[in-house]
Amino acid sequence: MSERDDSLDVIAPPVRAVAVRGETLEVSPLRLEQLPAFISASRPLIGRVMIALTMAEVGATLEMGALLLDVLEQDARAFAQAAAVVTGRSEEWLAGAPLNDIAELAEAIVAVNADFFARRLPALISAGQAAVSKARPSTAIRGPSSSTSSSPAVTSAETS
């Protein structure tokens, strides 16, 4: 995406329309006020999804499929909570949606927030780490140092 396209996304963030249970929901990028609730709700999913993506990259499709089935079984409520934060619909309403609708909704949530989570957040973290490293005093020892705690006067008196 060009710089011009990025600046247009700031003026008019990407919105994606998704049909869920016969209704059209608009999915837009998360707002700061939504972030704590979204992260809390999606925390059980994040690790498993990251592992599944890694498995997909190395071609372990059978293992990835098994892990995704675990996610669906054990973390369906967490997804419904996270999706409720994004869409403003209730968890119960979302839980009653067909799996194809949920898959479309998940894709839309990831797509409209990918720029922040994949590009901007890592850049912010790197910038923060660089600032901390630059501000941290150097731990390198400068000049000569003694390996004992005795003063030169005491040392020369003892050795004479």
Average pLDDT rounded to a whole number, residues 78-92: 95
pLDDT at 87 over 50: yes
pLDDT of residue 98: 95
pTM: 0.66
Structure-derived torsion over alpha carbons of residues 24, 20, 80, 87, reported in degrees to the nearest 10? 0
d(CA 113, CA 106) in angstroms, rounded, equals 11
The set of residues, in sequence order, having a beta carbon less than 8 Å from that of 25 and lying 6+ positions away, is 17, 18, 19, 87, 89, 105
Q: Are 25 and 121 in contact, with CB atoms under 8 Å apart?
A: no
pLDDT at 143 over 70: no
Average pLDDT rounded to a whole number, residues 45-69: 80
**Confidence grade of residue 2 (pLDDT, cut at 50, 70, 90):** very low
pLDDT of residue 1: 46
What is the percent of the chain with per-residue pLDDT over 90, rounded to a whole number?
36
